[in-house]
Amino acid sequence: MAAGLAAPLVRAADGPPAPGYGSVRGIAMDVGGKPLATVTVAIRSADGATDRQVLSDTDGSFAADNLRPGTYRITASKEGLSSPPATTVEVARDQTVRPKVVLAAAKSTPSIEEELAAMKERIAALEAELRARNTAEAAPAPSAPAPAPPAPAPPSQAPQAAAPAPPAPAIPEALQAPDAAPAVDNATPFAFGDFTWLNGTPRNKDTVLDTKFFTPEIRFDTNYMEDFNQPKDHTIVGATESFRSGEVQIEQVSVGGDFHWQNVRGRILTMFGMFATTTPRNDASFGVGQWDLRDAYKYVSEAYGGYHFNVNHGLNVDAGIFVSYIGLFSYYNFDNWTYQPSYVSSNTPWFFNGLRVQWFPTNKLKIEPWLINGWQSYAKYNSHPGLGGQLLWQPKEWFKLVANQYGFGQDNLGLPHTERLHTDDSIELRYYNDPESPNISKMAFSLTADAGCQYGGGLQCTGAPSKNKESFVGWMLYDRMWFHKNTYAITLGGGEMSNWGRYLTLLPPINGADAVTGSPYFTELPGQRAHMWDSTVTFQYMPKQYITWWAEVGYRHSDVPYFAGRGGVTPPGFSVGGTNGAPGQYACMSGAASGASDLPTATTNCASSGGVWFPDLRRSETKVSVGVMVKF
Amino acid sequence: MRNAWRQSGCLIVAAVSLTAADPAWKSKPAAQWTEEDVKQILATSPWVREVRAVVTRRLTEEQLREGGQMGQPGGVGNEGVDPKGSGPKVSLNVFSGPGGDDRSPRSLPQPITLRLRWESALPIRIAELKSHAAETPLEGDGYRIAVYGIPGGGFKGDPRELGKPLKNLAVLKRDGKKDVRPVSAAVFPSENGVVVEYLFPLSAEIGKRDGQVRFEAQIGRIVVGQTFELSEMEFMGKLEL
């Protein structure tokens, strides 16, 4: 074998042996015991299932790992050396066999003439093979006598086999006009199309920095909002994206990224800014037991680790905190068409804590079951975990269907026998695309519909409100137009929700109330109604893929007093902290806690303090916002 | 008389031209192939094609994660396929920019030229033998097709182990017949990059009646496809694959 042939072969060990497999680590040497480099060593199992070829290293060593236990024949060859007889070894489980392969020197190095003669012999053999094949192919014709195998053409004769062949161009046709190859990756899920237009998906076309082990991610989100109700405590209520009025606020600062090595993976994204307070306060599960989970997780937006299996188009098993795409929009505003999404998105979960499996049976379909602690909860409220899952189907670049389902969870503090059901289903459709147009370059819409309810423990999904009805129905529709090569975009849209029992209605932070404390000023009792709708117009300027400047006008309406009015939702006298520490009670006009969560008692208790204080809640809210978002 | 001379002259020129145009694999027995003939066979014969393939766009981390993966994929066809300097540029000017056109060259599909060769075809095997070309590590009978010119290098390991992930991403297609998948694949280095060779089973029984056979493969981010005219792939009057 020529030295050049050695290059394709393995020089070193394959890697550490896997459990249950064995290894061969031998040495190739000459008869004098001198190690021989670049010896081609073939290791073949007796059943023929395994056939490895490795090259010996400069010290004569060769290795093959991850061999199934069994009998193997080892042969070796090297130019100028005679091949020894095959060596048979037994490879046992988790054991290493160390054979010695001795090659004797050949009688003499073959001369050029001998090599040429050998080559001619090989060519003659190949031509004979061809003749034999020709003969075999001609033989089945019963009426025609089998032609005699053509004699090898003398050097001066014209080739007889060339006669029947049609004249061929000097340059084959395919060279003149190569095929156009398909330009898409059909192996990686959803890589066949550019889905950066989707609502809830970042539009970045590049990752600024990625290494083999870590890919960082950084997000900044700063806004200025002006609530036309002019709340004197600067507090905006009823959303998970809008929190303060008349101020510049950092909504989100996140630093983190993906860790990946071979198939092991992990992701962390921290969460500083308003999100660190405003998201955990909507989780009442923190009120179960000890260890202050809200404090433990408040700076963590995503944190999970897992493993990627090479099954079908991929199978992942991850555990930790994940972002949720119930409600279509991304938790991260940079990814969305609007800044303030409608209730169906804003009021449904942004994260899950638990176990997630992602299975990609094709490159266009994802099936993602969850086993989670509950509905946007750090902890499990009662005895049941939450079960759910997502089905994502993107058959074309211009279409997306996502369906999220949830059930079994008992997601109410103090209601151990009440279970929740929810379905959240969306489509997104890009109906126009001319990315190079200086005018309209793209148009698309998203439509989401949700429905759900709670039942058990005295609650029911249907029936009269007086029968403790707990249900949710909602929808939202957004239409977006991109302009000037996707540099600008305008999104118009809105939605509506009807939530009996108010179990998905965000509690206004009156006197610092949160999901655990509740508030006597806005109760969330069975059969209580919350019917709301909203609409927004959003303008985004996207000069670069990493930055978005935006402005938005929004109007929200509720059929019950809900939004902060001029008087705000903070009791007087508490300039620091904005709460008297007892949000579950009525507050007095002095700001002090009344000591009661029922109004008659509170009225009595507050008689000497100027009476009971009430927040200024309105039925509507108009808001203008501007901001900048950065994502690397 | 003048016309007769002119006609005779044209005939001679045509005959010479035809003779000159006849490629070696049609006009000479293999034993007479010169070094030039061998080069021609290995470069421009019907069993060889220079193919304009595509390096698909480099996905962002979000796109990879949405597809269930994390980190840029490694291995053959993924590493070393992006030219230097094709990455993104970030400027401090955040008030103006190219908008939707703000993207790096590597975020778009890039062309790449590869060479496909039917290694199992007899004329190719003879020519390789005459040119002292390295034998490929795939063994066994079958239709062997090699893809030459894949960028990158330094891939260590058993060639067949390296080829395993690629095996399911290649196919031979014919009109009206089931697609044929390779039974094995191997990856090995060559002077001009990496070579991936596929072994398709003889049970596919590709014949002249098939007219055309199309080879398609995805090698990491490289996607290649080429149709071969079977009528051209004859050697000594017989289809050779």
Q: What is the CATH number of the domain that holds A383?
A: 2.40.160.10
pLDDT at residue B98 above 90? no
- All residues of chain B having their beta carbon less than 8 Å from the beta carbon of residue A267 are 65, 70
Indicate whether A174 belongs to any domain.
no
pLDDT at residue B115, rounded to an integer: 93
Which comes out higher in pLDDT, residue A552 or A3?
Answer: A552
How many separate domains does chain A show? 2
pLDDT at residue A259, rounded to an integer: 97
- All residues of chain A having their beta carbon less than 8 Å from the beta carbon of residue B139 are 51
pLDDT at residue B3, rounded to an integer: 56
CA of B148, closest CA in chain A: separation in Å? 13
Burial B20-53 (b: 16+ CB within 10 A, else e): eebbbbbbbbbeebeeebbebbbebbbbbbbbbb
Q: Across the interface, which of A120, A170, A212 has its CB nearest the CB of B21?
A: A170
Place A120 in a pLDDT band, splitting at 50, 70 and 90. low
Which ipTM value was assigned to this complex? 0.85
- All residues of chain B having their beta carbon less than 8 Å from the beta carbon of residue A435 are 100
Indicate whether A592 belongs to any domain.
no
Q: Across the interface, which of A51, A157, A182 has its CB nearest the CB of B225?
A: A182
CA of A519, closest CA in chain B: separation in Å? 39
Q: Mean pLDDT score of chain A, rounded to an integer?
A: 85
Comparing CA positions, the residue from A532, A539, A430, A531 lying closest to residue A492 is: A539
pLDDT at residue A3 above 50? no
Top residue of A115, A179, A363 to mutate, by most chain B CBs within 10 Å, is A179
Indicate whether A283 belongs to any domain.
yes
pLDDT at residue A80, rounded to an integer: 63
Q: Across the interface, which of A162, A212, A546 has its CB nearest the CB of B26?
A: A162
Q: Residue A413 is encoded by which pair of tokens? A: 């503090």
Chain A residue whose CA is closest to B47:
A172
Place A143 in a pLDDT band, splitting at 50, 70 and 90. very low
Indicate whether A288 belongs to any domain.
yes
Q: Across the interface, which of A52, A175, A360 has its CB nearest the CB of B44?
A: A175
Chain A residue whose CA is closest to B239:
A134
pLDDT, tens digit, 9 for 90 and up, residues A148-206: 333 333 333 322 222 222 333 333 333 334 444 457 899 999 999 999 999 999 999 99
pLDDT at residue A124, rounded to an integer: 64
A181·B224 Cβ contact <8 A = yes
Identity of residue A4: G
Residue A358: phi and psi, rounded to 5, are: -120, 120
pLDDT, tens digit, 9 for 90 and up, residues B7-29: 555 444 444 444 455 788 887 88
Sign for the pseudo-dihedral over CA of A26, A30, A36, A38: negative
Which comes out higher in pLDDT, residue B237 or B42?
Answer: B42
A12-31 average pLDDT score: 69
| Domain closes at, from A70, A105, A140 | A105
Is A125 near chain B, with CB under 8 Å?
Answer: no
- Express as a percent the part of chain B with pLDDT over 70: 91
Query: Which residues are CB-contacts of A217 (< 8 A; sequence separation ≥ 6)?
Result: A254, A255, A256, A257, A258, A269, A631, A632, B61
- All residues of chain A having their beta carbon less than 8 Å from the beta carbon of residue B146 are none
Identity of residue A530: A
A470-480 average pLDDT score: 97
pLDDT at residue A150, rounded to an integer: 33
pLDDT at residue B6, rounded to an integer: 58
pLDDT at residue A178, rounded to an integer: 44
Is B130 near chain A, with CB under 8 Å?
Answer: yes
CA pair distance A373, A406, nearest whole angstrom:
12
- All residues of chain A having their beta carbon less than 8 Å from the beta carbon of residue B14 are none
pLDDT, tens digit, 9 for 90 and up, residues B53-82: 999 999 999 999 999 999 999 889 999 899
pLDDT at residue A54 above 90? no
CATH assignment at residue A92 = 2.60.40.10
- All residues of chain A having their beta carbon less than 8 Å from the beta carbon of residue B97 are 487, 543-544
A543·B102 Cβ contact <8 A = yes
B54·A183 Cβ contact <8 A = yes
B101·A314 Cβ contact <8 A = no
pLDDT at residue A309 above 60? yes
Q: Across the interface, which of B29, B61, B161 has its CB nearest the CB of A217?
A: B61
pLDDT, tens digit, 9 for 90 and up, residues A254-302: 999 999 998 999 999 999 999 999 999 999 998 999 999 999 999 999 9
pLDDT at residue A172, rounded to an integer: 37
pLDDT at residue A129, rounded to an integer: 62
* Helix residue spans in A381-508 (DSSP H): none
CA pair distance A588, A296, nearest whole angstrom:
33
In chain B, what are the domain boundaries? 24-57+108-239
Q: Which domain holds residue A287?
A: 214-461+474-495+531-552+621-631
| Domain closes at, from A105, A133, A167 | A105
3-state secondary structure of B49: strand
Indicate whether A523 belongs to any domain.
no
Indicate whether A26 belongs to any domain.
yes
pLDDT at residue A604, rounded to an integer: 96
Comparing CA positions, the residue from A146, A551, A190 lying closest to residue A393 is: A190
Contacts of A50-58 with C-beta under 8 Å, sequence gap 24+, read: A51/B139, A51/B160, A52/A10, A52/B158, A52/B160, A53/A9, A53/A10, A53/B137, A53/B158, A53/B159, A54/A9, A54/A10, A54/A11, A54/B158, A55/A6, A55/A9, A55/A10, A55/A11, A56/A27, A56/A28, A57/A11, A57/A12
Element (DSSP H or E) covering residue A75: strand A70-77
pLDDT, tens digit, 9 for 90 and up, residues B119-159: 999 999 989 888 877 777 777 889 999 999 999 877 778 88
B181-186 average pLDDT score: 94
Q: Across the interface, which of A159, A164, A358 has its CB nearest the CB of B28?
A: A159
Evaluate whether A538 touches A552 at the Cβ level (below 8 Å).
yes
Chain A residue whose CA is closest to B222:
A185
- Express as a percent the part of chain A with pLDDT over 70: 83
| Domain closes at, from A83, A105, A127 | A105
Q: Which residues, numbered 145 to 174 in chain B, qualify as contacts with chain A under a Cβ-Cβ cut-off of 8 Å?
A: 156-161, 165, 169
CA of A272, closest CA in chain B: separation in Å? 21
pLDDT, tens digit, 9 for 90 and up, residues A333-376: 999 999 999 999 999 988 999 999 999 999 999 999 999 999 99
Residue B230: phi and psi, rounded to 5, are: -65, -25
Claim to verify: residue A232 and residue A361 sit in the same structural domain: yes
Is A183 near chain B, with CB under 8 Å?
Answer: yes
CA pair distance A57, A10, nearest whole angstrom:
10
CA of A197, closest CA in chain B: separation in Å? 11
